[in-house]
A and B are shown apart, each in its own frame.
Chain A
Amino acid sequence: MIDLSLSTHRANLVTRIFAIFILLALHVGGVSAAEDKFTFDSEAQRASFLRLTAELRCPMCQNQNIADSDAMIAHDMRRKVYSLLKQGKSEQEVIDYMKARYGDFVHYQPPVTAATLWLWAGPVLFIFIALLFVIRRRSVTPPEDMAAKLAKADAMLEQEKE
């Protein structure tokens, strides 16, 4: 009896969790449906729009892309991206358009410049220096005398036995 009630209880819980997930999924669907006021000429254009709004950064709420942000400027930028794509502009042209107004900041892929070079060079340099450090260190330590160590361990074991 007890066993049975437990298992129904568990089944209940599973259903509930499942329901929550379904609700969450529906909610996410609802959010992305907000973009549905835009109609696209082709699937490729829709894909471009989604890619661009994910890649362009909102200048107002700084760590969101313009697809996520609900700031007015993000709304306006989405509308602008849409109208530029409708005019037949390429993705790069749209990015350049935004960069001309908001600077490199607005794109989540920074260009390689003297200042940003360190983003790529830094980790490589770090690994290189660390490797150098490890190699030098290893060569400095003298080869270990295993035999002497074993003898010492044996002696300690002998001592323990007594």
Chain B
Amino acid sequence: MKKAPLVAIPLVLFLLLVVFLFKGLFSDPRELDSQVKDKTLPPFSLPDLMNPDTTYTPEDLKGQVTILNVWGVWCVTCAVEMPYLTQLKNEQGVHIVGLYFDQDLDPDFGTKTLTRVQQEVVEMLSRYGNPYAFNIFDVYRDTSLDLGVTGAPEHFVIDASGIIRMHHIGDINERVWRNKIGPLYEKLRNESLNDLANEVSEAAE
């Protein structure tokens, strides 16, 4: 009987290993700890994709809850999610802003012209729907790097005061919206509406 604890050691180790590996079966290796969550947007000053004379800064994303969608015409999954995003915009009035970056338009070694990119963008949006309020053109892809973007599509939920509340890697579909992003979006939108109502009532007093 004295030996019992020692005999149990391999069994306990084995069980620990089983639990560890079993958890691994359901973990997503792409899931990274986002470094920008609960922080303000990194400073940027970037042109509009369609109208490069217009410049955007983080200030332009304040005032309402925004979903910042990182995408490009070369990204197949982006094309797949586009009709659903358009539906979200049309049916629920979700405010979606594009952060566009192009693979082939390398600013230093580029082979494509901006006009060509714009043309491709227009074609793609007319085919799959246009969910975007506007598109910010991340020319040097610096802002993507600052945001910890690993590819496309990726999404950032940004609250009305400009703070990033969620970083979602991968596409948005009905399931993801219902389980992950939708509830947060609704909550943030209600908060911002309440704040607005409070401000209005304070101003009235």
Interface size on A, residues (CB 8 A): 20
A120 to chain B, nearest CB (A): 17
Contacting chain A: which of B29-37, B81-89, B116-124, B179-187? B29-37
Name the residue of chain A whose CB is nearest to the CB of B103: A72
How far, in whole Å, are A102 and B30 apart by their CA atoms in the complex? 12
How far, in whole Å, are A72 and B151 apart by their CA atoms in the complex? 8
Interface residues of A in 9-51 (CB under 8 A from B): 37
Is B6 a contact partner of A105 (Cβ separation < 8 A)? Answer: no
Contact with B151, one of A60, A100, A129, A133 (Cβ below 8 angstroms): A60
Is B33 a contact partner of A103 (Cβ separation < 8 A)? Answer: yes
Interface size on B, residues (CB 8 A): 22
Instruction: Report A-chain residues with C-beta under 8 Å of the C-beta of B33.
Output: 103, 105
The DSSP consensus for interface residues of chain B is loop
Contact with B150, one of A60, A79, A100 (Cβ below 8 angstroms): A60
How far, in whole Å, are A133 and B8 apart by their CA atoms in the complex? 12
Name the residue of chain B whose CB is nearest to the CB of A129: B9
How far, in whole Å, are A59 and B30 apart by their CA atoms in the complex? 8
Instruction: Report B-chain residues with C-beta under 8 Å of the C-beta of A105.
Output: 32-33
A101 within 8 A of B: yes
A23 to chain B, nearest CB (A): 28
Contact with B146, one of A62, A101, A133, A136 (Cβ below 8 angstroms): A101
Instruction: Report A-chain residues with C-beta under 8 Å of the C-beta of B35.
Output: 99-103
Is A102 a contact partner of B32 (Cβ separation < 8 A)? Answer: yes
Is B145 a contact partner of A76 (Cβ separation < 8 A)? Answer: yes
For this complex, 20 residue pairs linking A to B, each with C-beta atoms less than 8 Å apart, are A37-B109, A59-B150, A60-B151, A62-B29, A62-B30, A71-B151, A72-B141, A73-B150, A73-B151, A76-B141, A77-B145, A79-B108, A80-B142, A99-B35, A102-B32, A102-B35, A103-B33, A103-B148, A105-B33, A133-B9
Given A59-B32, A101-B147, A102-B150, 5 additional A-B pairs, CB 8 A: A73-B150, A76-B141, A101-B145, A101-B148, A103-B32
**What residues of chain B have their CB less than 8 Å away from a CB belonging to chain A?**
6, 9, 29-30, 32-36, 103, 108-109, 141-142, 144-151
**What residues of chain A have their CB less than 8 Å away from a CB belonging to chain B?**
37, 59-60, 62, 71-73, 76-77, 79-80, 99-103, 105, 129, 133, 136
Report, nearest first, the 5 A-B pairs whose CB atoms are least far apart: A59-B150, A101-B148, A60-B150, A103-B33, A76-B141
